[in-house]
Amino acid sequence: MFKVLVSDPISDMGIQQLMDASDVVVDKKTGLNEDELVQIIPEYDALLVRSQTKVTEKIMEAGKNLKVIGRAGVGVDNINLEAATKRGIVVINAPDGNTITTCEHAFAMMMALARHIPQAYAKTIQGTWDRKFLGVELRNKTLGVLGMGRIGSEVAKRAKAFGMDILGYDPFLTEERAEKLGIKLATVDDIVRNADFITVHTPLTPETKHMISRPQFEVMKKGMRIINCARGGVVDEMALVEAIDQGIVAGAAFDVFEKEPPEADHPFLHNPKIIVTPHLGASTVEAQENVAIDVSEQVLHILRNEPFKNAVNMPPVAPSVMNKLQPYFELGEKLGAFAAQLNNEAVQEIHVDYAGDLAEVDTQPLTRYIIKGVLSRHFGSDVNTVNSLHLAKVRDVNVVVSQASATKGFTNLISVSLKTQDGAERRVAGTLLNGYGARIVQIDKFPVDIAPEGHLIFISHNDKPGIIGSVGTLLGKNDVNIAAMQVGRKIVGGEAIMVLTVDKETPKEVLGELTKLPEINKAQQIAFA
């Protein structure tokens, strides 16, 4: 049974599928501080949060069973991603579910700003009939959109309907896409100099932090207005207050703050030209349901070891590519495990070669499985597909991937070679055979045909008559039953290998006795989990 902890208020309707799942128990415990979470987290397999819970390294350290952290929303700045990756915890978000809602909030803020709605409302309900609030139209105004991703693009579409001219900047915005959206591709400088309204829709990164600050405010049009429903810190708060005081900025609308919640004496809370909301961008019934449904679905997939999407600490993979790769995951992991068990020395380089059907797809997800297989020998369950590449890197294991080498007649072929620090190289290759499933088809230079399952004994020996008999007799005497056997050699009387599939683990002493038989050079156990 999987245990899921929901530590922020998340839509019940959205997490219904988790609550209905027969293999999942959901506990809702909101408002806990770090120490309280550290106390209870060890029993949970998954943690679901919005933005309130700060998922720190300390919490993950304590979360020994934690496999996934689901963020019901877009921004994952409340989750220590590096710590999660290090521990092999998948972090997923729900990137699409609140796009429209947040766009509408930004638009509502822009309109409220243009027409002083919050200020007028406050006066009116205090009993003052103040008709001095003079607004501006949006029509024919220039809107600068910084960050033309999901939300920025939706804002631009709506602004067009309001008759605004739109300047957009995003490092990934092409002329072609700008044209399609009916906006003008601009630079940040164009935007700050020419916009009547600026709205920011970027994540907070070292590059975007204070991307609007004193130098930008200094060149802005007098009377411009600015909106931030993205992340606190994209606009420099103190520089904004100064620009308002200098009469450069006529008004600002902020949903997000550099520190949330802001202190009671934060200047935004006492400036009549600044309107604020408490990070409500994503707070609609629809968005909260959407993000909770999306995240619950993926959490279930991860817990059940099924393919999933929206991982933040793993690169995205198109579903079509994932469908193609998925049948190879088990084979890949087993090839890695096989190669690792053939080696006794520390691995310095893992070379993976993909050929045939696999030569033209992005095989990175599959590589993660192979590296997991290799590293599992030493890291056990601490390694998974999230952290396998990271672990290889921090352990100075060079991972080299090549594609499109010879298929040797197979429609697909994965070869895994391990170079060890003594200069030795061991190679295992496998394929998925139509109707037969996964097969190991090559070990070092020897062709074989082995199902990578259960317990194997790998023997290297000299090709002499009688060896098979002596091995069979010794194993029989020790109650080790042989289910299948493969021998491989390149030349008669030369180096040879024997791979036996046996019914159970072979005791170490028996392997020792095998190596003492004449002409046997080595006997190793290979097991698949």
Ligand X SMILES: O=C(O)CC[C@@H](O)C(=O)O
Q: Tell me which residues touch ligand NAD (CB under 6 A).
A: 74-75, 95, 98-99, 102, 146-152, 169-172, 201-203, 205, 207-208, 211, 229-231, 255-256, 279, 281-282
String marking each residue 343-382 x if it binds ligand X according to CB under 6 A: ----------------------------------------
| Per CB under 6 A, 388 contacts ligand X | no
136 in Cβ contact with 224 (< 8 Å): no
Pick what 146 binds: ligand X, ligand NAD, none; C-beta below 5 to 8 Å, kind-dependent.
ligand NAD
Judged by CB, which is closer to ligand X: 53, or 442?
53
Q: Which of 50, 71, 116, 231 is catalytic?
A: 231
Give the contacts of 20 (CB within 8 A, at least 6 positions apart).
none
Whole-angstrom CA distances from 381 to 88, 377, 416 are 10, 9, 21
| Nearest one of 272, 277, 276, 275 to 132, comparing CA atoms | 272
Whole-angstrom CA distances from 468 to 8, 69, 473, 507, 509 are 64, 52, 9, 19, 19
* Three-class DSSP category at 160: helix
Q: Which residue is nearest to ligand X (CB)?
A: 73
How far apart are CB 128 and ligand NAD at their closest, in Å? 31
Q: Provide the phi-psi class of 30: left if phi over 0, else alpha when psi is between -120 and 50, else beta.
A: beta
How far apart are CB 72 and ligand X at their closest, in Å? 6
Bridge partners (DSSP) of residue 27 are: 5
Has 279 been annotated as catalytic? Answer: yes
Has 461 been annotated as catalytic? Answer: no
Give the contacts of 222 (CB within 8 A, at least 6 positions apart).
247, 248
120 in Cβ contact with 173 (< 8 Å): no
Judged by CB, which is closer to ligand X: 281, or 336?
281
Judged by CB, which is closer to ligand X: 93, or 501?
93
How far apart are CB 282 and ligand X at their closest, in Å? 4
Judged by CB, which is closer to ligand NAD: 255, or 353?
255
Bridge partners (DSSP) of residue 144 are: 167, 198
Q: 211 — phi, psi (to 5°)?
A: -65, -20
CA angle 327, 439, 522 (to 5 degrees): 135
| Per CB under 6 A, 73 contacts ligand X | yes
Judged by CB, which is closer to ligand X: 48, or 414?
48
Strands 425-433 and 437-443: antiparallel
216 in Cβ contact with 192 (< 8 Å): yes
Q: Which of 105, 116, 225, 279 is catalytic?
A: 279
Judged by CB, which is closer to ligand NAD: 37, or 229?
229
| Per CB under 6 A, 75 contacts ligand X | yes
How far apart are CB 146 and ligand NAD at their closest, in Å? 5
| Per CB under 6 A, 98 contacts ligand X | yes
Single-letter amino acid, residue 384? N
Pick what 171 binds: ligand X, ligand NAD, none; C-beta below 5 to 8 Å, kind-dependent.
ligand NAD
Has 260 been annotated as catalytic? Answer: yes
How far apart are CB 217 and ligand NAD at their closest, in Å? 17
| Per CB under 6 A, 70 contacts ligand X | no
Rounded Cα gap, residues 293 and 15, in angstroms = 6
Judged by CB, which is closer to ligand X: 51, or 85?
51
Give the contacts of 389 (CB within 8 A, at least 6 positions apart).
367, 368, 371, 399
How far apart are CB 252 and ligand NAD at their closest, in Å? 15
How far apart are CB 282 and ligand NAD at their closest, in Å? 4
Rounded Cα gap, residues 420 and 106, in angstroms = 56
Rounded Cα gap, residues 376 and 374, in angstroms = 6
Among residues 66, 68, 74, 292, the one that binds ligand X under rule CB under 6 A: 74
Hey, CA dihedral for 513, 516, 517, 520, is it positive or negative? positive
Pick what 50 binds: ligand X, ligand NAD, none; C-beta below 5 to 8 Å, kind-dependent.
ligand X
Distance of CA 406 to the CA centre of its chain: 32
Pick what 313 binds: ligand NAD, ligand X, none; C-beta below 5 to 8 Å, kind-dependent.
none
Judged by CB, which is closer to ligand NAD: 23, or 207?
207
| Per CB under 6 A, 105 contacts ligand X | no
Pick what 255 binds: ligand X, ligand NAD, none; C-beta below 5 to 8 Å, kind-dependent.
ligand NAD
| Per CB under 6 A, 282 contacts ligand X | yes
Pick what 14 binds: ligand NAD, ligand X, none; C-beta below 5 to 8 Å, kind-dependent.
none
| Per CB under 6 A, 276 contacts ligand X | no
Q: Which of 36, 218, 260, 425 is catalytic?
A: 260
Judged by CB, which is closer to ligand NAD: 98, or 506?
98
String marking each residue 35-54 x if it binds ligand X according to CB under 6 A: ---------------xx---
- Encode 333-353: b = buried (16+ Cβ within 10 Å), e = exposed: bbbbbbbbbbbeeebebbbbb
How far apart are CB 329 and ligand NAD at their closest, in Å? 28
How far apart are CB 71 and ligand X at their closest, in Å? 7
* Three-class DSSP category at 277: coil
Q: Which residue is nearest to ligand NAD (CB)?
A: 149
* Three-class DSSP category at 332: helix
Token couple for 157:
């579409």
| Per CB under 6 A, 292 contacts ligand X | no
DSSP 346: P
- Residues making contact with ligand X (CB under 6 A): 50-51, 73-75, 98, 279, 281-283
Q: Which residues are catalytic?
A: 231, 260, 279
